[in-house]
Amino acid sequence: MKTTMNEVLQFVGENDVKFIRLAFCDIFGIQKNVSIMPGELPRAFESGISFDASAIRGFMNVEESDLFLVPDPATLSLLPWRPAQGRVVRLFCDIRRPDGEPFEGSTRDVLKAAIKRAADLGYVCKVGAECEFYLFEMDEHGSPTMIPHDRAGYFDLAPLDKGENVRREICLTLEEMGILPESSHHEQGPGQNEIDFKYSDALTAADELITFRSVVKAIAARNGLYASFLPKPFPDRSGSGLHINLSLQKNGLNIFRTPRDGHSGEAESFLQGILERVGEVTAFLNPLTNSYARFGSFEAPRYVTWSHQNRSQLIRVPAASGEYSRLELRSADASCNPYLAFALLLHAGLDGIEEKRVLCEPKNLNLYEASPRELAGISTLPANLGEALAEAKESAFVKRILPQKVFHQYIGQKEREFAEYVAAPDKREFERERYFERI
């Protein structure tokens, strides 16, 4: 919904809106918000609403802590699960310094810069997300347990699939908010679910993924359940991934085409650019110590390869045509900051186009069952968060794309997190305490 400031003010006045949530993310992709009353909204649009940035992880120090939230009117959305009387709406915000200049820690602006670069080269990037999550039971105190909501498997039906009505409610809520889910189903793990979105422009897709995570948790809680996006809650069960579908349009045409038609040279260079940089950006696609337990099993990739349709590959080019032609990156998970993830992938692909990178040969084999001889010489994704951070730290590409403060804050805090994980005597308990109720 492309809405102007005046239209937002009119909507708030005519629809019994009593609370406006001004939402933004920290550099790790965790949503934050402050609620203001309708009378404060004109001031928010004009000069922003101040907040203590030193209290936000990775933002500012105490000596220079004032930042301002300026709402983006195009992101207006009702929160349907809140009361119909005294309604609540949400607006995503840009973050500004006291002098009005953009704050370099605003990762939404990092993605906007990537989108502008694409536009300057004549491209429009489209992104579609496929997001998996688990539903867990709550205990008598309302705290989440590790007991899955059901014991169903892939594409199972009710009554074995107990998540059917929850997914239905999530999809209907998303539709009320202007977000278009395409499909939903039970996934492989017990209590595991997946909802896929229709593609949209990259900024909208990132906003929608942040919204999706909050909707899933809110609707799950309303049904007495806890929703978790932890990448690997069970060591012997399917992990939860975020499959990122990317395509580029040039002059209104999708540069990705069906396998039988062949890909354009630009599409192949875009794909190769991502393959060459994916190790360097994995710390941002997979930001938790728990993220790396997914790799190499249950259709989660480990090797840096591509193919048509083959789901054991890092990147596959699905058998789709027309507007749905695309590449699908299968390594990321939903604990990432989507603004950083999409920006880094887009820049990597655009580098590939500008440098006319030649696409490597596909690997048309099942990598989960391949012999050591067949796997010899194939690059792998980082084996743990420490390796991923080391690659990012040495990456001239990542340093060029990310603002200096974001780069150093992100790497520094994640290095400390990994050190605590290494020192923890019980690694699973560390991850449960650190991530389970936050992701």
Q: Are residues 286 and 329 in the same domain?
A: yes
Interatomic CA distance for residues 279 and 292, integer angstroms: 13
Q: Considering the domain boundaries, does residue 158 fall inside one?
A: yes
pLDDT per position as a tens digit, 338-381: 999 999 999 999 999 999 999 999 988 888 888 888 888 899 99
Question: How many Cβ atoms sit within 10 Å of the Cβ of residue 405?
Answer: 15
Q: What is the pLDDT of residue 62?
A: 55
Q: Considering the domain boundaries, does residue 108 fall inside one?
A: no
Domain tally, the chain: 2
Q: What is the pTM of this model?
A: 0.96
Q: Considering the domain boundaries, does residue 211 fall inside one?
A: yes
- Which amino acid type is present at position 369? E
pLDDT per position as a tens digit, 99-118: 999 999 999 999 999 999 99
Q: What is the pLDDT of residue 63?
A: 57
Range of the domain at 388: 113-436
Q: What is the pLDDT of residue 308?
A: 85
Q: What is the pLDDT of residue 297?
A: 86
Evaluate whether 267 touches 254 at the Cβ level (below 8 Å).
no
- Which amino acid type is present at position 172? L
The SS3 assignment for 134 reads: strand
Query: Phi then psi for 256, rounded to 5 degrees?
Result: -90, 135
The Cα-based distances of 388 to 272, 281, 288, 324, 383 in angstroms read 20, 8, 10, 31, 8
Interatomic CA distance for residues 372 and 174, integer angstroms: 45
Q: Residue 399: give its domain's CATH number.
A: 3.30.590.10
pLDDT < 50 stretches in the chain: 1
Contacts of 78 (CB under 8 A, 6+ apart): 15, 87, 88, 89, 90, 176, 177
Q: Are residues 44 and 130 in the same domain?
A: no
Q: Are residues 60 and 124 in the same domain?
A: no
Q: Considering the domain boundaries, does residue 376 fall inside one?
A: yes
The Cα-based distances of 144 to 224, 256, 430 in angstroms read 10, 43, 16
Q: What is the pLDDT of residue 22?
A: 98
Last residue of a domain, one of 102, 126, 153: 102
pLDDT per position as a tens digit, 297-315: 888 999 999 998 777 899 9
Q: Considering the domain boundaries, does residue 315 fall inside one?
A: yes
